[in-house]
Amino acid sequence: MSVVPPTRRRGRSRRRTLALLVASGLALVGVVVLGVGWAGIGITTLRASAAGSEPCLAAYEVGSGVEIRYELLPARAVCVRDVDGTRQEVVVASVPTAVTAGGLVLALGGIAGTVAALLPARGARDAAPPGAGGPVAPAPPAGTP
């Protein structure tokens, strides 16, 4: 009976390792850009509310049917209230659309690139190591040349 020595698993190539590093770095930068932008919107809204300089936010403090809405794209905080039967929307804080879209592209593209770099190579996925699965040929009868 022949014993098949254990096969050593090949490590990732330098190119794939570099691709993984770059893709995960881009994803991290995108997430940080989005986080800083959205946190900045919240902080700016709180500061404007504390200062009392915006009439819509002052009405929100009183509780007279005023609503503050946070939107994703474009990233902004909008104060909505009814003034004499007309709906008035005031943008309290916002992040430029290009910054938010760029952050989303970096985050999603980096995540996709990281997943792609972690997947096994196509050739390695299709080729099975020797002795792994497949039909086994019957042993020849004893005494046959």
**What pLDDT, in 10s, does the model give residues 43-63?**
998 898 888 778 888 777 777
The verdict on whether omega for the bond into residue 140 sits within 30 degrees of 0, i.e. cis, is no
d(CA 68, CA 46) in angstroms, rounded, equals 11
pLDDT for 128: 53
Summarize pLDDT for 92-141 with one digit per residue, the tens. Answer: 999 999 999 999 999 999 999 999 988 887 665 555 555 555 555 666 67
3-state secondary structure of 82: strand
pLDDT at 88: 86
**Does 89 have pLDDT greater than 60?**
yes
- Please say if the pLDDT value at position 14 is more than 70: yes
